[in-house]
């Protein structure tokens, strides 16, 4: 049984062909392309049409490589960003990037409508300016609310791509669950939030669960692409949900780090936990596949390195990611540390200066070579993971036994080892194409090839090479952690 999976990250997209023979899942990347937010007159956008073109290109290549019609295709991407469909079925708005400044410009006004606290207790989502709700509120406050009245449907990126393939308008559950407009009790849109923020309920599409069929490619689209018509399956369309689905274990006390542009560190829980501590530490409760919930914290992640790389490229030197990691590996430990989630690091641009300024502000030596900058970032990320792990342990009341690094960030072998050292836990790395792998699992479930997530995870454990890192140098890391804690804001 062959399937196509499409995964869009904030720095790249990929299409994979997967084949399940009843025991093993084998996968092959058949198309990849770069992705990045585009700044025009101080607004940040995604090149949605380019993304769509790469999807169709990937489907064409996938069908050719499959040597027949694949059973289905599944689409996942980062969350929150959306397009609005007008009365004629067209895409009316550009797809903005979640880092766009319009939310920061309107922050005070937005949280006057409903406070951060009230919002968190309403559905447990993290308070973040990138949430769909906050983007919509900013649109209204900047005078674009008429679009919400006039347009027919809001669709998140994977749902938007599915719509252009099938003509069907749905809101996939895992994406809806992180929009800050979802209600757990009814598994539907939250009428209280919609009314307070004046979001017309008709704008939001019916919710569809992962592992079900979202539609069939229209004849026109199939002809346009030049492929046979095939099913589009709703997978865990939030890439993090798909990545977590691909955990190669059924161990209940394992933590995961979905590692890419962001590092999403968390655990799976059987029921949402929303309390003073999840509010205080801004821990998110998000919907997962297989009836699970994802309790996690966003850590700034490899974005910091991606942005440094870009700075070096602008200055005339192109470093491969692995090259930077190798340079960092040769540097001395714990010269300077940063809080990776300091708000200074959120927006694109000028990352080297921002790190330099942070070190000056906190009285630490200023890094002056690529290796030193990356060392600072990697050690700081590893220490932030420890803070997240300990915070989750306190809230959940159990010890996290192991950490699984999922996604492309697992290629960073230095960070894998530093994570084991900082957290004092065995770190398991893989699958590196976790979102795509989890995407395949939900397609297999929809096709009836697997019965449940546990079974799917056993298949992944059999089919994937998992690298193992054991903790080292515990005493030095404990000391560094003591200092690191002094850098965190008081609420942490
Ligand atoms: C804003 C981020 O995209 C989001 O929190 C994260 O969950 C994600 O989707 C990572 O790709």
Q: Can you give the chain as a three-state secondary structure string?
A: CEEEEEEECCCEEEEEEEEECCCCEEEEEEEEEECCCEEECCEEECCHHHHHHHHHHHHHHHHHHHCCCCCEEEEEECCCCEEEECCCCCECCCCECCCCCHHHHCHHHHHHHCCHHHHHHHHCCCCCCCCHHHHHHHHHHCCCHHHHHHCCEEEEHHHHHHHHHHCCCCEEHHHHCCCCCEECCCCEECHHHHHHCCCCHHHECCEECCCEEEEECCHHHHHHHCCCCCEEEECCCEHHHHHHHCCCCCCCCEEEEEECCCEEEEEEECCCCCCHHHHHCCCEEEECHHHCEEEEEEECCCHHHHHHHHHHHHCCCCCCHHHHHHHHHCCCCCCCCCCCCCHHHCCCCCHHHHHHHHHHHCCCCCCCCHHHHHHHHHHHHHHHHHHHHHHHHHHHCCCCCEEEEECHHHHCHHHHHHHHHHHCCEEEECCCCHHHHHHHHHHHHHCCCCCCHHHHHHHHHHHCCCEEECCCCHHHHHHHHHHHHHHCCCCC
- Please give the distance, rounded to the nearest whole angstrom, from the Cα atom of residue 245 to the centre of ligand 1: 15
Measured from the CB, is residue 240 less than 6 Å from ligand 1?
yes
Per residue in 425-461, pLDDT tens?
999 999 999 999 999 999 999 999 999 999 999 999 9
Tell me: the pLDDT tens digits for 366-376?
Answer: 999 999 999 99
pLDDT score of 208 more than 70: yes
| Residue 417, token pair as written in the block | 């080892």
Interval between CA 260 and ligand 1 midpoint (Å) = 9
pLDDT at position 230: 96
Res 175 pLDDT > 70: yes
pLDDT at residue 25 in the model: 97
Residue 98 CA, closest ligand 1 atom number? 1
Q: Which atom of ligand 1 is nearest to the CA of 298?
A: 5
Ligand 1 pocket mutation pick from 95, 264, 301, 407 by most atoms within 8 angstroms of CB: 264
Residue 363: pLDDT band by 50, 70, 90 thresholds?
Answer: very high
Are the C-beta atoms of residues 189 and 182 closer than 8 Å to each other?
Answer: yes
Q: Residue 107, class by beta-carbon neighbours within 10 Å (0-12 exposed, 13-18 middle, 19+ buried)?
A: middle
For residue 381, report the distance from its CA to the centre of ligand 1, in Å.
17
Of residues 76, 159, 239, 341, which has the active-site annotation?
Answer: 239
**Ramachandran angles phi, psi of 391, nearest 5°:** -65, -45
Q: Which residue do the tokens 């025009």 mark?
A: 40
Joined together, the tokens standing for residue 344 give 């200074």
Beta carbons of 209 and 235 less than 8 angstroms apart: no
Task: Name the pLDDT band for 68 (thresholds 50, 70, 90).
Answer: confident
Q: Is the pLDDT of residue 142 over 70?
A: yes
Query: How far, in Å, from the CA of 128 to the mean position of ligand 1?
Result: 11
262 lines ligand 1 (CB under 6 A): yes
Spatial separation of the C-alpha atoms in residues 476 and 207, rounded to whole Å: 49
Best mutation site among 262, 295, 296, 433 for ligand 1, i.e. most ligand atoms within 8 A of its Cβ? 262
| Residue owning the nearest CA to atom 9 of ligand 1 | 78
User: Ligand 1: distance of its center to the CA of 365 in Å?
Assistant: 32
Q: What is the mean pLDDT of the chain?
A: 97
Ligand 1 within 6 A of CB of 298: yes
pLDDT tens digit sequence for 228-249: 999 999 999 999 999 999 999 9
CA atoms within 13 A on the CB side of 154: 23
- Percent residues over pLDDT 70 in the chain: 100
Could you give the ipTM of this predicted complex?
Answer: 0.96
Atom of ligand 1 nearest to the CA of 286: 7
pLDDT confidence bin for 76, thresholds 50/70/90: very high
| d(C-alpha 161, C-alpha 4), whole Å | 14
Residue 492 reports pLDDT greater than 90: no
Over residues 211-234, the mean pLDDT reads 97
How far apart (Å, rounded) are the C-alpha atoms in residues 476 and 422? 9
Does 88 have pLDDT greater than 90? Answer: yes
Q: How far is the CA of 335 from the centre of ligand 1 (A)?
A: 30
In tens, the pLDDT along 290-312 reads 999 999 999 999 999 999 999 99
Pocket flag, ligand 1, residue 439 (CB < 6 Å): no
Residues 179-204: pLDDT tens digits?
Answer: 999 999 999 999 999 999 999 999 99
Q: Name the residue with the closest Cα to ligand 1, atom 11.
A: 78
Pocket test for ligand 1, best of 35, 97, 157, 239 (most atoms within 8 A of CB): 239
Q: Is 80 in the pocket of ligand 1 (CB under 6 A)?
A: yes
User: What was the pLDDT predicted at 308?
Assistant: 98
Measuring from atom 3 of ligand 1, which residue has the nearest CA?
A: 78
163-197: b (≥16 Cβ within 10 Å) or e: bbbbebbbbbbbbbbbbbbbbbeeebbbeebbebb
Q: Does the annotation count 275 as an active-site position?
A: no
Q: Residue range 9-36: average pLDDT?
A: 97
Report the pLDDT value the prediction gives residue 491, as an integer from 0 to 100. Answer: 66
Atom of ligand 1 nearest to the CA of 130: 1
For residue range 253-279, what is the model confidence (pLDDT) as tens digits?
999 999 999 999 999 999 999 999 999
Residue % of the chain over a pLDDT of 90: 99
> 74 CA distance to ligand 1 centroid (A)?
18
- Asked if 18 and 2 count as a contact pair (C-beta separation under 8 A), the reply is yes
> CB-hemisphere CA count at 13 Å for 404?
27
């Amino acid at each position: 049984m062959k399937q196509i999976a499409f995964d869009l990250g904030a720095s790249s997209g990929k299409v994979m062909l997967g084949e399940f023979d009843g025991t093993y899942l084998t996968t092959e990347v058949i198309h990849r392309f770069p992705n990045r937010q585009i700044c025009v007159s101080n607004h940040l956008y995604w090149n949605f049409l380019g993304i769509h073109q790469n999807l169709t290109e990937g489907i064409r290549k996938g069908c050719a490589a499959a040597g027949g019609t694949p059973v289905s295709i599944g689409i996942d991407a980062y969350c929150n960003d959306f397009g609005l469909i007008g009365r004629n079925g067209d895409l009316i708005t550009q797809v903005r990037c979640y880092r766009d400044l319009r939310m920061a410009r309107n922050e005070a006004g937005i949280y006057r409508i409903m406070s951060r606290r009230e919002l968190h207790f309403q559905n447990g989502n993290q308070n973040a300016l990138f949430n769909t709700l906050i983007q919509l509120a900013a649109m209204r406050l900047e005078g674009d609310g008429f679009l919400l009245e006039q347009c027919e449907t809001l669709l998140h990126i994977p749902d938007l791509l599915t719509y252009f393939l099938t003509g069907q308008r749905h809101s996939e559950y895992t994406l809806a669950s992180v929009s800050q407009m979802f209600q757990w009790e009814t598994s539907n849109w939250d009428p209280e939030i919609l009314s307070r923020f004046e979001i017309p309920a008709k704008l939001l599409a019916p919710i569809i669960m992962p592992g079900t069929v979202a539609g069939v490619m229209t004849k026109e689209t199939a002809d346009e692409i030049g492929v046979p018509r095939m099913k589009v399956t709703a997978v865990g369309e939030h890439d993090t949900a798909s990545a977590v689905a691909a955990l190669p274990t059924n161990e209940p006390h394992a933590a995961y780090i979905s590692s890419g542009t962001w590092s999403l560190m968390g655990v799976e829980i059987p029921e949402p936990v929303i309390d003073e501590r999840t509010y205080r530490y801004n821990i998110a409760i998000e919907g997962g596949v297989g009836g699970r919930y994802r309790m996690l914290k966003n850590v700034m992640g490899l974005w910091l390195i991606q942005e440094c790389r870009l700075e070096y490229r602008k200055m005339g030197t192109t470093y491969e990611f692995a090259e930077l990691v190798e340079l960092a590996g040769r540097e001395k430990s714990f010269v300077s540390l940063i809080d990776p989630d300091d708000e200074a690091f959120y927006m694109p641009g000028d990352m080297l200066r921002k790190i330099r300024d942070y070190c000056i502000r906190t009285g630490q030596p200023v890094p002056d070579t690529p290796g030193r900058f990356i060392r600072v970032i990697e050690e700081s990320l590893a220490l932030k993971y420890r803070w997240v792990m300990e915070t989750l342990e306190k809230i959940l009341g159990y010890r996290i036994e192991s950490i699984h690094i999922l996604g492309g960030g697992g290629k960073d072998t230095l960070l894998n080892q530093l994570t084991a050292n900082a957290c004092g836990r065995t770190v398991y790395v893989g699958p590196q194409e976790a979102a795509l792998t989890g995407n395949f699992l939900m397609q297999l479930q929809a096709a009836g090839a697997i019965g449940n997530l546990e079974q799917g995870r056993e298949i992944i454990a059999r089919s994937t090479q998992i690298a193992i890192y054991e903790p080292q140098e515990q005493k030095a890391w404990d000391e560094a952690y003591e200092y690191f804690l002094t850098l965190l804001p008081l609420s942490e």
